[in-house]
Every structure is written in structure tokens, then in C-alpha cells.
Amino acid sequence: MATDSDPATKFDEKHNNDFEHSSRMTPEEHHLEATPSLLEDEKETKRIIRRADLRLLPILAALYSFALIDRTNLANARVAGADEDLGLSVGERYSLVTMMFFIPYVLLELPSNIVLRKVGPGIWLPLLVGAFGVVSMCCGFTHTWTELLGCRVVLGALEAGFYPGCVYLLSCWYVRFEIQKRFSIFFLLATLASGLANVLGYGLSQMDGIGGLRGWRWIFIIEGLATVFFAALGFLIIVPFPDQATKPSLITRKPFLTKEEAAIVVARIERDRGDVAEDKMSLKTVLRCCADWKVLEWAWLYLIAATVSYSFSLFLPIILEDDLGYSTALAQILSFPPYAVAAPWMFITAWIGDRYRKRGALIIFNCTAALVGLCLIGFATTSPKARYAGCFLGVAGGNSNVPTILTYMHNNIVGQSKRSVASAVLVGASGISGIIAANIFRQQDAPGYKPAIITVIVLNGLSVLHVVKNFYVYSRMNRKADRGELLIEGQPGFRLTL
């Protein structure tokens, strides 16, 4: 439960305080007060949330899918001929080109989230997507590996703000124990797209010679062009934050919600965690959030999950071709089935997590699956079938932990600015994981990449131990709060989700 106090009383007190004293809200927004009849209208609430689902989940998932494709299509381009044309196989060039994407990606996430709140998600998010779609197209016209490296740096700078912005926007619309299903749908579609990207990459590589261009160039050009197209749709579809949903859109000139509908959304968020009103972002807020040991621990867990995810997305086609001996075509095609299995796995675990309000147990379950899969890949050297089966477990476990850990964090914090900063910190950790994945899969360790696989196995084991520790620490904090000895997140009645 989010609170021990009476929900209606809590809403009245907190809602009035936030809406009457927030200097960031207009006079009209101060009238978004929910009447008891509206609060009790469950049918109307579900209708509004379904509308938000339809305007947020499909388009954000589609845009994030293209962000992932543009980020990871380097592996497909490499096996389609970029290796020979650009000399990526020389020394550590491929790892360097892969890694350089993540340096600006890590550094620019928090500044982008600050801009997001001021500009609005309906403008800022599709603007970023359109820009990195153009840069992805430019990758198809590079002639040296250093030119490709430069494009990857710019791509990382532009992609930096999109993912944490999506996470922050979604977390502002939903209550704590319905958010993992939304995160999982967001990642589920993106996970499927990651798998299909390998098949798509193979298909586009067959355009070799058309227009005098090599097939690997068409991979970048066509996928970048599709990204720009969907970014244009984003300007028309993406909705603002709940407290801004009654303002007319800059594009359509129509508000997404009426005042009464917005009041319902405001009330349910307020009853759940009491942080619907925007609090002022300051350097002190940022530093305090970054110094919060819980946020740093969630970032560590997220780094591990993202390392597993990136390891497979960046190197699975290469492992299938170089290590397991499949042809280029078959390696691209066989990269998809593990992601197809990961999609329902991800949603089922999310449904269980929201239904039973548990996160840590699911993280341990997914880590265990990934551990088994990685062990099969790394050590079942006499059985290609067993190693390929390990890819299914590794992809499913690693990718499913991404939305689970995000939800673990969002369930356990209060405050708009802290939510924004924490989202950027966690996604920044995923950028570091991309650097890790790019560097542990070294060219000299091909084709088995055993040191890299052992590293990821050890990281997963540490993740399990960390969550077990949290069971004890969080339970102890909740018991202290029950006795009135501790105020968690500065919110009376707030309890940590295990």
C-alpha cells in the first residue's frame, strides 16, 4: 500500500497544498480539483487511462525501437560488409566506434530531462528522434572508420535525452503498481524490434549494388529514414505531462484532457504517492538525488541488466556467425527468435510484479535465467544447440530485468524532480553498460569471447546478492516506519516496495 492514511483525506490536504502553492502552475490549473463523484467513477478513470495508453505506449515504443535499431545496427552493418570497407576489424576499431556512442549518451541525459519539462514531451522527444534519424542516415555515407566514429558520437548526443525522457513521462502518468506493465509494453515492442532489426538488416543488405551503394550502407539509410518518418508522427501523437494536459497542443491546438479528466488523473497520482505537482529543480536537488544511496544502488542494478542486454544486441549476430559457425544470412535470422521469446516473458513477469506488488523476487528470477543462459553459451562448447538455447535464456532474463529495475526505482521514490533526476541517473548507468559491453567483447577473444561472458556472469551473480541484501534492508526500514521511528522519502505512510 502506498499509504496508511485515508486516501480521500490525503488527497484533499496534499492536493490543495500543491496546487495552491506551486508557482509553476497557471490559475486555471489550480482548479483541477477532483470531486468525490469523479474519484469514485472507476469507469471514467479507466477510459482516461486507456486514452493515455493509446497516445503514449505505441508511439513511444515505436520511437524507442528505432532508437535501439539506430544504436545497434552497427553489428548488422559489420557482418554485411562494413568490416572490409571501413576496416573495422583492425585492432579495436569496432569496439571503439561502439563505445564512443555512449560517452555523450551518459553525459547529456540529465540536461535533456530538464529541457523536456520546460519544452514539453510532444515537441522535445520527436525533435530528438528526427535529429538522430538524420545522423543514422549519414552513417551510410561514411568512407572511413573515423567518419563513422564521428557520426556515432553525434548519434549518442542526440539519443541521450530520448530514453530517460520516455521513462520520466510514463512514470508521471501511472500509479506505482500499474507502471511495470506499461514499462514492459514499452520495452516489449522495442525488444521485438531489436530482434527484427537483425532480419531487417539482412534484407536491406540484399540491396547491395542498388544506386551504386553497398548493402551495409542501405541498412543505415533506410532505417534512418524510417526513424525520421515516425518522429514526424510523434509530433501529432505524444501527449504532455498530466498537470499540463489541459493546455492546447502547439501542433493540433487542442488539449488532450478536459479539466475534469485531468482532475481524475491528478487525484489518483496524488493518492498513490503525493507528487503530482512539479517541484522546483535545482542544483541542490540534483546533488541530493545523486548522493542518495538507494538511487546509486538501483543504478548499479540497472547497469548490470543493461550490460546483459547490450551484450546480446551488439554481439549476438557476430557470436552466431564467428563462434557457432552459421552463415551471415542464418546468423541474422537466428538472432530474432530469442527476442520473440523475451517479449511474452517480459510481459508475464511484469503482470506478476504489478499483481503481487513485488520487484526484487522478479529481478532474482530474471538474473538466474540469464546466468543459466550465459553459462550454456560460454561453457557448453560441444553442443551448438545448447549454446543457442542459452541465447534464449540470456536475452529473456537480461531484457526483462530492464523494466523491472526501472519499476523497482520508481516504486520507491517520491517527487517530480527526484523522479526526473533518478531516471537520468539510471539511464546514464545503462550508457556506462554500453561502454562495458563494447570493451569486454574484445577482438582478440573472438570467436568464443569467453572473458566477456564470464564478466557478465559475475555481474549477474552480484546483482542477485544485492537484491537479497535489499530484502533485509528495505524490510527493516518499513518496520521502523511502522513504529514511527523513520519517515521514508519524507512522505508519511510511504513504504518501500520489496
Q: Locate cell 555512449: which residue? A: 102
Q: Which residues contact 332 (CB under 8 A, 6 or more apart)?
A: 76, 79, 198, 199, 201, 202, 317
Mean pLDDT of the region 151-179: 92
**What does the alpha-carbon distance between residue 101 and residue 313 come to, in Å, rounded to a whole number?**
15
For the chain, what is the mean pLDDT? 85
Residue type, 88: L
Task: Say what the pLDDT of residue 493 is.
Answer: 85
Answer yes or no: CATH 2.40.30.60 is held by domain 7-486: no
**What does the alpha-carbon distance between residue 137 and residue 227 come to, in Å, rounded to a whole number?**
9
**Span 103-116, pLDDT tens digits:** 899 889 888 988 99
Does the structure show a pLDDT above 80 at 337?
yes
Report whether 394 contacts 312 (CB < 8 A). Answer: yes
Does the structure show a pLDDT above 60 at 96?
yes
Does the structure show a pLDDT above 80 at 253?
no
Better-predicted residue by pLDDT, 342 or 191: 342
Does the structure show a pLDDT above 70 at 379?
yes
**What does the alpha-carbon distance between residue 55 and residue 49 come to, in Å, rounded to a whole number?**
10
Report whether 255 contacts 245 (CB < 8 A). Answer: yes
**What does the alpha-carbon distance between residue 355 and residue 344 come to, in Å, rounded to a whole number?**
16
Task: Say what the pLDDT of residue 38 is.
Answer: 46
Look up residue 130 and give its three cell numbers.
Answer: 528526427
**Span 195-231, pLDDT tens digits:** 777 788 888 989 999 999 999 999 999 999 999 999 9
**Span 412-429, pLDDT tens digits:** 988 888 888 888 888 888
Q: Residue 33 CA to chain centroid, in angstroms?
A: 32
Report whether 492 contacts 1 (CB < 8 A). Answer: no
How many angstroms separate the Cα of 85 from the Cα of each of 72, 150, 320, 446? 19, 17, 22, 20
Tell me the CA end-to-end span of the chain in Å, nearest whole number. Answer: 12
Positive or negative torsion for Cα 94, 125, 342, 467? positive
Least confident of 30-34, 216-220, 249-253, 261-265: 30-34
Report whether 224 contacts 152 (CB < 8 A). Answer: no
Task: Say what the pLDDT of residue 36 is.
Answer: 52
Does the structure show a pLDDT above 80 at 40?
no
Q: What is the DSSP string of 448-481?
A: T-HHHHHHHHHHHHHHHHHHHHHHHHHHHHHHHH
Q: What is the DSSP string of 116-163?
A: HHHH-HHHHHHHHHHHHHHHHHHHTT--SHHHHHHHHHHHHHHHTTHH
**What does the alpha-carbon distance between residue 433 and residue 449 come to, in Å, rounded to a whole number?**
17
CA dihedral 411, 412, 415, 418 (to 10 degrees): -110
Q: Which residues contact 180 (CB under 8 A, 6 or more apart)?
A: 350, 353, 354, 359, 403, 404, 407
Q: Locate cell 490559475: which residue? A: 27
Task: Say what the pLDDT of residue 27 is.
Answer: 35
Q: Which of 48, 111, 61, 470 is nearest to 283 (CA)?
A: 111
Q: Residue 165 CA to chain centroid, in angstroms?
A: 9
Q: Locate cell 572511413: which residue? A: 144
Task: Say what the pLDDT of residue 19 is.
Answer: 36
**Span 439-450, pLDDT tens digits:** 888 878 877 788
Report whether 401 contacts 366 (CB < 8 A). Answer: yes
**What does the alpha-carbon distance between residue 162 and residue 145 come to, in Å, rounded to a whole number?**
26
Q: Across the chain, which distance is largest between two alpha carbons, in Å?
A: 74
Kindly give the residue spans of alpha helices, DSSP state H, lying in 291-383: 293-318, 328-334, 336-356, 360-379
Least confident of 44-48, 178-182, 191-195: 191-195
**Which range among 361-375, 423-437, 482-496 has the greatest average pLDDT?**
361-375
Q: pTM to 2 decimals?
A: 0.80
Task: Say what the pLDDT of residue 1 is.
Answer: 40
**What does the alpha-carbon distance between residue 172 and residue 396 come to, in Å, rounded to a whole number?**
27
Q: Locate cell 497544498: which residue? A: 17
Q: Which residues contact 31 (CB under 8 A, 6 or more apart)?
A: 259
Report whether 373 contacts 393 (CB < 8 A). Answer: yes
- Percent of the chain surpassing pLDDT 70: 90
Least confident of 33-47, 166-180, 361-375: 33-47
Task: Say what the pLDDT of residue 335 is.
Answer: 82
**What does the alpha-carbon distance between residue 192 and residue 65 come to, in Å, rounded to a whole number?**
8
Domain boundaries, the chain: 7-486
